[in-house]
């Protein structure tokens, strides 16, 4: 299946997953800015990876605005975030990025990435700082919030190639 993997990555985690997927699937791999200049009509499968930003998938609007032109193609979106795979909020957060109709056309996956404060833009670092400050200011913190404070206080990497397996399986099954 002729496949293209397109990614939007700020600090490198989504790019890493895109490259893992492309390598395993024998697919072409481009950053979103380069993919926009290309003709995608020859591809049978289009995979888009974007990082999680406040519960949304970054630059997903580009992908969604083209979905109507991509009828008959296999469509996959993967989201890379700082939350571990087992976080209960992942599934509802992923789904709220799509309408019911869109969810029938696209296969959606999550891959845990991590945090890289060294590569983050100043604005992103500021937003993370404010987010942390808000949780820290809470009076009766839940266990999840206490864990979150500890986790978000420094850079970490929980990415793993194994999380690409469901995506690769989805690409192999012809739906």
67 close to 106: Cβ distance less than 8 angstroms: yes
Can you tell me the distance from the alpha carbon of 166 to that of 138, in angstroms, rounded to the nearest whole number?
Answer: 37
DSSP classification of residue 70:
G
Tell me: does residue 51 bind ligand FMN (CB under 6 A): yes
User: Which stretch, 20-28, 60-68, 74-82, 163-171, contacts ligand FMN (CB under 6 A)?
Assistant: 74-82
The piece of 19-27, 33-41, 114-122, 137-145 that touches ligand FMN (CB under 6 A) is 114-122
CA 62 to chain centre: 14
CB of 55 to ligand FMN, least distance (A): 5
Does 57 sit near ligand FMN (CB under 6 A)? no
What's the min distance (Å) between Cβ of 81 and ligand FMN? 2
Please report, to the nearest 10 degrees, the dihedral formed by the alpha carbons of residues 31, 36, 41, 44 taken in order. Answer: 30
Contacts (CB under 6 A) with ligand FMN, residues 135-164: none
> Which residues have CB under 8 Å from 23's CB, separation 6+?
none
Return residues touching ligand FMN (CB under 6 A).
9-14, 51-55, 80-83, 113-115, 120, 124, 127-128
């Amino acid at each position: 299946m002729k496949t293209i993997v397109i990614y939007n990555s700020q600090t490198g985690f989504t790019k890493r997953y895109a490259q893992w997927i492309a390598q395993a699937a024998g697919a072409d791999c481009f950053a979103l800015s380069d993919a926009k200049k290309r003709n995608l009509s020859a591809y049978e499968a289009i995979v888009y990876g974007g990082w999680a930003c406040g519960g949304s998938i970054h630059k997903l609007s580009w992908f969604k605005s083209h979905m109507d032109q991509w009828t008959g193609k296999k469509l996959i979106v993967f989201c890379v975030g700082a939350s571990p795979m087992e976080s209960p909020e992942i599934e509802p957060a992923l789904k709220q990025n799509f309408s019911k109709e869109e969810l029938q056309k696209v296969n959606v996956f999550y891959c845990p990435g991590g945090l890289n404060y060294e590569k983050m833009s100043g604005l992103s670092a500021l937003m993370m700082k404010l987010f942390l400050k808000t949780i820290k200011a809470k009076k009766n913190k839940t266990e999840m919030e206490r864990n979150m404070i500890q986790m978000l206080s420094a850079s970490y990497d929980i990415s793993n190639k194994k999380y690409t397996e469901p995506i690769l399986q989805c690409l192999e099954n012809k739906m």
